[in-house]
Structure 1
Amino acid sequence: MPMTLLPLRTAASRCLLALWAFGTLGVAAAQQAPVAAGSQGERGVNEWLMRMQEASRERSYIGTFVVSASGGALSSARIWHAGHPTQQVEKVEVLTGAPRSTYRRNEEVLTFLPEDRVVRAERREAVGLFPNLLQSPGTSIPEFYTARRTGAERVAGFDADVVHLAPKDHLRFGYRVWSEKRSGLMIKLQTLDDQGRVLEQAAFSELQLDVPVPADRIARKMQPPAGWRVERAQAVKTDAASEGWALKAAVPGFKPMNCYRRPAAPGGTGGGSLQWIFSDGLAAVSLFIEPYDRERHQQEGLMASGATQTLTRRMEDWWLTAVGEVPAQTLRAFVQGIERRR
């Protein structure tokens, strides 16, 4: 589900972001960590997450996925996912808002916009897998979250374990996850605030699990039609230090994942932007840094849409936008800690 500034995303792109969970980030942290075998009631956070991750990679499925936010926004998409241990092919067709279909073959992603006859092409490094809760390699998720099975329910006709992933501090949200009993596939996800209120929910309303999904047929549809314009992402991978930026102190649990320099849009003003991405293994934060423009950058402050918080602030000659599915105080810690070193 990306990569324009996340505050500008539409309800349709919200659905894609829920599917790929800031898909520019990495894959299974839990696969890096040993886990102890045990019954369902004894599974630790890494074991639950690794089971879900393996299911999302190896299972094929077709389903309708619906995302609803606390403010009432609703979006949905139809998904075809061809599971394989080493190759991932999928199609996501947005059912709400402007027509849009996104195809992915491993790191290659094409988004078809029929109203504009445009195909947007990009490569997403370690794009990850649905549901891709496990965002960053080498994290110590158990230091910041606990996992506890709280019951069982049926979702989209499947029996599921209900697992509560609770944060250990106030810098991250909690999650309630429905994991299909037989396979482990995550079929429903709620993001919870510190009072246990649901900020955002994503779930299959209909699901066919372990059905044949023709990966070769999906891949063939990735060829842009004749007469369509292909727009290719021009992001350049870099690092914050080389660009002259640093954090005075790390935000607990969040590690830098990637950093990209993006040119200004054709016909736009300004000198482009820098996107610096952090993750604690489940939650992600993006810092966008660009030259201050008094015509475009007029409103400082905090905005919320479902679980997504956005904080904007001027910093001398620069404009900062912090975005993430984290509490507001987490974004403030990032914005207050960033500094220019040259």
Structure 2
Amino acid sequence: MSLRLGLCGLLLAVSAQAADLLTTPESANLLRKMGAAARVLNYSGVYLYQHTDMLETFRLVHAFDAGGEQERRESLDGVPREFVRLNDQITGYMPDAKPMVLDRRAANKFFPGIIPDQIIDVLANYNFKRLNTERVAGYDCQSILLEPKDKLRHPHKLCVEPNSGLMLKSTMYSPEGGGALEQFSFTQLEIGGPIDKRALKSVLASRALPADPPGRASNSAPMPATDLAQFDTSNLPNGFRLVKEARSAMPGKRQLVQHFLYSDGMVTVSIFIEPAGNGPVTLPLAQGSSNISFFSRQVDGWRITALGEVPLRTVQLFAQSFSPR
């Protein structure tokens, strides 16, 4: 296994050395084309999601018309799960569970989508290099390496169908050349043509529990707020910007948890701040061997936890950047 991963990293490095460096305008145009393709094309197929030692299969149907963007994806392995999109809103369904509503940012991160409003961030943090041509799900596609400009993020390799601009495969690698950490790849795909509207309708909605009325939390008991105005940030990792801030109730927590979401245009890092006694820590204090790294520390009665799709050193820097006044 280690030999295979080592060879994978070596091949990626060799390919990168022989690659053509894209100019900034070429890289920006590619990102715009990929973003538009994922949003406005009709397509349907099956894709694999692989991370660490787990492999999941999803069926995806996507359509665009005068009413906007519609999509349905369902898991084909394990517990039935379903995600139904209407423009910028995605609702997740599971049997005997309440629906989950995801925001626009989560919607744009669903494969094969990208975040179209953060092209400048991606260009600032990665160099684009043209690699070889591959074949994915019966289509020729152009491989593009996104090489980080520092050691705070992972390399990514994208494979893009040249005519449509649709991303057919996405791989995130360890920066040490240790192989793939995460991969999405179509195994079956049809681009274009009409989409049967019945294929976009939810199957699991009728088996889900009733959703909470608007404005009412799932736990009706009030939770005391956490005073987080006393925190400062300094020396945040370069290339990341704050894109969302919220207070949330989390399972097993007695008080609300403050959530800060940072992004470099390709990946995200979450910072959670809570009182140290606010329920158990559900994650190890530090881990960096999977596609998600996380690090937690306690200071002056507070617990600060950072996790994201970045090297361990990056989440450590984020956690250490937050300090009480």
Question: Aligned pair in 2 of structure 1 residues 340, 74: CA closer, same or farther (>3 Å)?
Answer: same
8 Å CA contact retained: 2:133, 2:140: yes
Q: 1:251 is matched with which residue? A: 237
Provide the C-alpha distance between the structure 1 equivalents of 2:136 and 2:147, rounded to a whole number of angstroms. 21
1:262 corresponds to 2:244: no
Match of 2:108 among 113, 128, 140: 128
Match of 1:152 among 121, 130, 133: 133
| Cα drift, residue 59 of structure 1 | 0.9
1:193, 1:226 → 2: CA distance? 40
**What's the counterpart of residue 44 of structure 2?**
62
* Number of the residue aligned with 1:325: 309
Match of 2:157, as an amino acid? R
Identical counterparts, % of pairs:
26
| Contact 1:309–1:324 (CA under 8 A) maintained in structure 2 | yes
Distance 2:89 2:74 in 1: 17
Give structure 2 stretches of 5+ with no counterpart: 1-19, 219-225
Question: What's the offset of the Cα at 1:234?
Answer: 4.8
Structure-1 residue corresponding to 2:5: none
* Alignment correspondent of 1:49: 31
Determine if contact 2:99/2:208 at 8 Å carries over to the other structure: no
Aligned residue identity for 2:122? I
Distance 2:324 2:317 in 1: 16
AA partner of residue 320 (structure 1): I
SS at match of 2:295: strand
Tell me the residue number matched to 2:183. Answer: 201
Partner of 1:167: 148
1:113 pairs with 94, 97, 100, which one?
94
* Contact 1:224–1:230, Cα closer than 8 Å, also in 2: no
TM-score (norm 1): 0.76
2:82 and 2:202 in contact (8 A); partners too: no
Contact 2:48 2:184 in 1 (8 A): yes
Paired positions, count: 293
Note closer, same or farther for the CA distance 1:86–1:277 as it changes in structure 2 (3 Å cut): farther
Aligned to 1:99: 80
Structure 1 position 273, deviation (Å): 1.1
Q: Does the 8 Å CA contact 1:261/1:275 hold for their aligned counterparts?
A: yes
Structure 1 residues 190 and 121: alpha-carbon distance in aligned structure 2, compared to 1, 3 A threshold: closer
Deviation at 1:79, TM superposition (A): 0.7
State the shift of 1:249 in Å.
2.5
Would you say the 8 A contact 1:297–1:319 is kept in 2?
no
Q: Extract unaligned runs of 5+ from structure 1.
A: 1-38
Summarize deviations over 1:88-121 as a string: whole Å, max 9, x none: 211110112211111111233222212x2x3313
Quote the offset at 1:152 in angstroms.
Answer: 0.4
For residue 108 of structure 2, give the secondary structure of its aligned residue in structure 1: coil
Letter in 2 for 1:181: P
* Aligned CA distance change for structure 1 residues 227 and 288 (closer, same or farther; 3 Å): closer
Q: Partners in 1 of 2:208 and 2:184 — Cα distance? A: 36
Specify the code of the residue in structure 2 equivalent to 1:271. Answer: Q
**Would the aligned equivalents of 1:190 and 1:202 in 2 still touch at CA under 8 Å?**
yes
RMSD: 3.1
Aligned partners of 1:67 and 1:201 also within 8 Å: yes
Offset at 1:122?
1.8
